[in-house]
Structure 1
Amino acid sequence: MNLTDLKQVLDERSGGSAEHVMHHVRLHGVRAKVVARRRRRIATWATCAVVALAGIAAAAVVPGLRADVTPTPADSPSPVRTIEGFPEYAWGARVVAAESAALPERRIELTIVPTTLDLVIFTRCAGTGDNVEPDEKVSVNGHFLFGGGCGGSSRQMSWDGLDVAVGKPATFVMTIAGAKRFDGTDLVPVAIPDSGTFGLAIGVRIPFDQYPLPPRPSGPLDPLHQTLMAGCTERLCPDAVIVRSDPADPTRPVQRTLTWKTIDSVDMLSQTPGLLHVRVNGVEIITGEWWDYAMSSSGRFGDRRGAWKREFGLDLKPGDPVTIEIVPEHITGAWQVVFSPA
C-alpha cells in the first residue's frame, strides 16, 4: 500500500479532510490494499460489531431499540451484548442507536437527539456472498458524510455546516449504492446482491477509564510486525524514522531530536489498549487509540505542502533540528511510531 492508496482509503471514509481521519487497519496484509481492506472489515465486525443500548443518558434515541445476546466461544469470559448486529462497545464508544435492514432494501434512516457531538458512526454489511462488498453512502440531515466499501467506523471531527447540534434531532441515512467483487487482483463492479443485511449505528465516545476493556490474553503478546505501513521494511525504507517503545518499560515516554525531512505520513502500531500522543516540537499532531489486544495501526498524513503549518502552526523546514516525543497513556505493551519521509 503506497501513500496514494492510503489516501484513497482515507478519502473513502471521510467527507472532510483526510488529515483529520484516524486510519485503523487490522494488518492482515499491508502489501495488498484490497485484500487488507476487506480482511480488516471482516475481522473488525466479526469481533466488534456495534450495538444500541436504550436508556443511556448520553442521547435520546428515536425509536426504541432491540437487544440480543450473541453466542461467544467457550474461552470468552462473557457474551457480547448486541443490538441490530452491533456490539455495545467498540472503538472507544458506546452505541446509543442502531438500525438494520435486509437486502434488497437499500436504505436505513436513523434519528437521534444528541446530547454530545463526540459521536462515532458505525456501518456493517453481512451475508452478501463470498468476496462481494456492497458500497455505502452515509449522510446526516441531507449532507454527505462519507462513502466507499461497506463496514467500519468514522469519527466526525467537525459538524460545522451539517445542521447537527446538541438537543436537535439529527437524521442519519445509510444507502447501499452499489457493490464490488474481489476478482483476485482488484475490486470490480457487480450488481447489488439480493440477499444479505446492512446496518447503521451511532456511538457516543466515553472516557477511557469507563470503557470495558477485554481481558488481556494469557501468555506473552506477539512481537510487532516488522513490515511498516506502505509496505516498507527498515531495509527497503532506510530513511524512515522509527521510534520504538522502551523494551524494559513501554509506558515510558520516548524523545528524539533529529534533522527534519518533509514527512509523507506518520503511522503508529500497538496491540494493547491505550493512547499514544505524538508531539513534534511540543505540538500534539495525532493521538492514536487502541481498545483491545488486536495488533492495529493508526496514522495521518505528513507535512507536505505546508499541511502542518496550516493545521498546527508548525513551520518545519528540511534541515531544521526537530524534537519528536511519543507519550504513551495506559499502553502496557510494545509500540512503534514511523515517520515516513516524502
Structure 2
Amino acid sequence: MHERYNINIIHQHNLLGATLSIEVIKDNAKSKTPLVFVGVPPFPPSHIPEEAIDPETEQHNNLFDRLTEGKGIFVNSFESLEPRAVMALKDGLCFPNHSTPSIYFIGLLISGVTKKQEQHRCKLWLDVQPKKSVVFLCFGSMGSFSREQLKEIAIGLENSGQRFLWVVRNPPNHDPAKIFKTTEPEPDLDILLPEGFLDRTKDRGMIMKQWAPQVEVLKHEAVGDFVSHCGWNSTLEAVSFGVPMICLPLYAEQKMNKVFLVEEMKIGIELKGYDEGFVQADELEAKVKWIIVSEGALELRNRMMEMKESAIKAMKEGGSSFGAFAEFLECLN
C-alpha cells in the first residue's frame, strides 16, 4: 500500500511570508521602512495582508505549522516566472527551524469555465475592435469601489480616448446582514457613473455588470491591457495570454503581488494612489494611454509575451512544470 501523501496547494508568496514572524510584522506595521523577505524584493509593511498582523488571529502561524507537516506542496507558478523566489523555496530558506516539504512548481494552471450568454455578448463586441486596442478592467469577484472611485475611473477612461471593456460592481456593502448574500442587485450605472458617460463612450466602450468571462476576454486578440486587482489567478491568466497589466491592488496579498509584477517580473505598472485607497482620473488616463499607444511600453509588452512563451514551454513535455508533476508521480510509486 502506498504511503498517503498530504499535498498542499498554495500561493507561492504565502510561503515566502514564512520568513517573517508575526511579531516582526506587527512591530513594523506602521513603519515606512521596507521589510526584507528571502528571495523577493522588499515589501512595505502596509502591503502585508491584514490577517498577518491582526493580534486576534493565529491564522498566520497555524498555516505555516501545518505546511511543514505536509509531504509536499503544489505551487501554481513556474520556475522562470519567479526564479529568485523559486530558489529560496527550493533551498529551504522559508521554514526556519523546520524541514521543507517537497515543493512542486506545476503552473500555470488556469480555469476556462465561462457563462456562455455573457461570453457571447463580450465576444461579439471584441470581434469588431482593432487588435490590441481594448483596455480590460476587472477586479475579481470581491473587488468593488466607492461611488467616488468609480466616477474617477470613468473620467480617466473617457479622457484617455481608448477603447475599454469594464466590469462594474456595486460599491462595498458594509451592512453585516447583507454582506454575505450570494446575489446582489445589478449596479445602476446611471447613478454610479458620471452623467452622460454611457452616451459619450458608447462607440468605444462596453460595460459588463457584475461579471465577465475573464479568460475568454484576456485571450481575445483585441485586448491590449488588463487593469487588475493583482489577484494571483488573474495574474496567471494575464501571463497565459501575454496581456500586460496595470496594477490596482485592493486587499489580501494583492499588494505583495503588485511588487512582484512591477519590480521583479517587470510585466506590469502600478497606479499611484492604490496604497492610499484612491486613484486619480489623470493617473489612470496616463497609464492607459502609455500601455496602449506609447512606443515606450514596447519593452513591457515584449516582456509579457516572453513570459507567455515561457509558460507554454514549462507545461510542455520536457518543461519545468511538466517535469515537476512527473517527479511527484514518481514519488507515489
Q: TM-score, normalised by structure 2?
A: 0.29
More strand by share: 1
More helix by share: 2
